[in-house]
Amino acid sequence: IFHPNVHFRTGDICLDILKKEWSPAWGLLSACRAVLALLSDPDASSPLNCDAGNMLRSADTLAYDTTAAMYTMENARFIAWPPPLDQDQDG
């Protein structure tokens, strides 16, 4: 994923509640909401992906959007779930 707060190689996410601020009181739903909020509203001030952070800090949204679209086209895969039934199998 091309995002300033996601490391492009490891997928690590720069989000305090997943690291030093984590507490069982957060719960899974709160953690998922926090990740979705971060993905929707990137924080370019402390990027894990410096290229993405620099593009956003310099307000080069065209370069950011184009690069993000390129990463999506290269890496995104559609996986149908559940897998289709094999039509050739008996029973």
Residues involved in catalysis: 14
Cross-strand partners of 3: 6
Torsion sign over Cα 86, 82, 77, 13? negative
The CA-based diameter of the chain, rounded to the nearest angstrom, is: 60
Q: Rounded CA gap, 16 and 42, in Å?
A: 14
